[in-house]
Structure 1
Amino acid sequence: MSGLNELAPLSCEDVEAEHAAYVWGALQSHERARVERHRAQCATCDERLRASQRVISQLDEAAPRVNPPGELRARVLGAVAELDSTRRAQAPQPLTGPVPPVRLRPPATHRRTFFAGLATGVTGALAAAALLVLVIVRPEGLGVIPAGGPAFTQEPSANEVRPWPWQLLQGAQTSSAQRLVLIKLQAAAGQGGGLLTYDGDTGRGVLMLEDVAPGAEYTVWLVRGSQRVQLGSLQTDADGFGTFVLPRPLPVEQPERIEVTGADSASSSVLTGTF
C-alpha cells in the first residue's frame, strides 16, 4: 500500500469493505485509525459499525471467548490463500493503449477476500456474528443442522472432510458430535429478518433481528405443538436492529420453531424460524 493510499480518507464503500475485519479486530493499527477517522465524520457508517459491535458484545454474554483451535485456524488461512490465488488467476489481462483514470484504492487483501465470502447469503453483520459463534461456542468441532434438517450426532472419522466456514453458513452439513444450529427467521409479511445461532449441546443461543420496525418492542416465543412459551422481550434500535440472548436452560425441550411477535399482538407471528 502506497503512502498516498495510506493517507487518503476512506469512502463509505471502503469502510463497508473493511466492516467485518474492523469489528473482529483484524485490521492493523493504521488501517483501524483510518476507519475511525471516517466514523467520526459519517454518522451512517458509525451506526452500522456500532450495530455489529453490539452483536459481538451480546455473543460475549452468551459464551466465553476462546482462541480458535489450530486446526480451524489452519483451514481458514489455507482457504483464504486458495481464494486469493484463484482471484489472481482469473484477473483480466493488462490493458493496452491509453488507460482511463481511476480512483486510487488500497489493493484487496487476503483478509478482505475472506470476509467478503462470508457475506454470501447472509447480511454482513449477521454472517460475521454467526461465524464468531462457530469459534467461541464450540471450539472442539464444528457441525451444522440447517433449518428443518436432520441432526447429525455421530462421531467424526479421522478422514472426515469438513466444509469451510462460509459453506456452513450456506447450509452445508457435516457429521460431528457437536451440533450447532443456524436458523434464518423470515417475516410473514413486510420486511425484516433474523438469524438464530444455537448450540444444541450447551443450550447457548443468540437471536439477532435486522431491518424490523425501529424503536419497537418484540416478544420471543418457543413453540412445540400446542405448547407456546414466552422467553422474553427485546427492544430494537433506531435502525431496526436488536439482539436477544436465549435463557439457559430452555423452558421447552426439542422446540419446533421460534417466533418473534409485536409486543402488542402476541397471537400474530411477525418472524418465524423452524428448528
Structure 2
Amino acid sequence: MSRPALASLTPPFRPGEVWLVGAGPGDPGLLTLHALNALQAADVIVYDALVDERVLKLARPEARLEYAGKRGGKPSPRQADITLRLIALAREGLRVLRLKGGDPFVFGRGGEEALALVRAHVPFRLVPGVTAGLGGLGAALIPATTRGTNQALVLATGHTADGGPADLDWAALARLGQPIVLYMAMKNLPHITAELMAGGMSADTPLAVVAAATTAEERVLETTLGRAVADAAAAGLGAPAIVAIGSIVRLRAKLRGLAAQIEAESGAVGGKR
C-alpha cells in the first residue's frame, strides 16, 4: 500500500501529539493500519522491550528510536521518567509514537500514560493493538471462547508493580470454573498454581504456556496445573509468555489432530491421482 493510500485511511499524526500504539504480540502482520501509519509518520518512537525488531524496521528512516523497555528483575526506566520524556518530546513539536507490545490498555500502562498526558495538556491518540492474551492464544490454536467450553474468560496479571505475586483472590478465581489467561506469570507460576489448587481447582486442569507468541521463536507447552511448574522448567520456558488455564486448552490438540488427519487424507487422495 502506498504512503498516500495508507494516510487516507487513518487520522493525521500532527506535530506535538503523542500516539499510544499497540504493536500486537509480535508478528508484524498483526499491526493495524493506524499503527503502520504512525510508524511511517513519527519523528520519534519510544518503544518497549517486547516490540519485535521487524516492527521497528517499518518506521521511516528519519525517525529516532528511544528504548524504554521494562523487564521484570532487570534494570528498567522508571514509569514516571518515561511519561515525562513523552511530554517533553511532544512539547518540542515532535510526532511522538509510544509503541507498546500487545495493547496499551491491557496490562500495558497505557492508561497511566494517557492520564499524565491529559494532565499536561498534551494531545494524544490511543491505537489499540492485538493483545497477546487473545491473539497469542489464537495463533497457538487455543480458542479464547467456544460455546461448548466457557461463558466467560478471565484476563489477569501474574505480578504486582514490584514483581511479587498478583494480589488476587485466587481461590475465588478457581471457583469460577472459567478459563484464566495470565500475563507476566512465569516468575510467580509456583505461587499461582499452588493458590489455585488450594482454592479447589483440580491439579489435572489443562494448562498451556505460549512463549514468544506469534514469532519464529514461539513454543507451546501443553501440560496440567499440577505439572506446569516442573514441565515449564524442564522445557526451559520463560518470559515473555502467556499462560492459559482451563478447558479451552484441550481444544488445541483436537484442532491439530483434525488438521493433520485432513492433510493426510488430502495427500492420500492426491497420491491416488
TM-score after normalising by structure 2: 0.30
Q: TM-score, normalised by structure 1?
A: 0.30
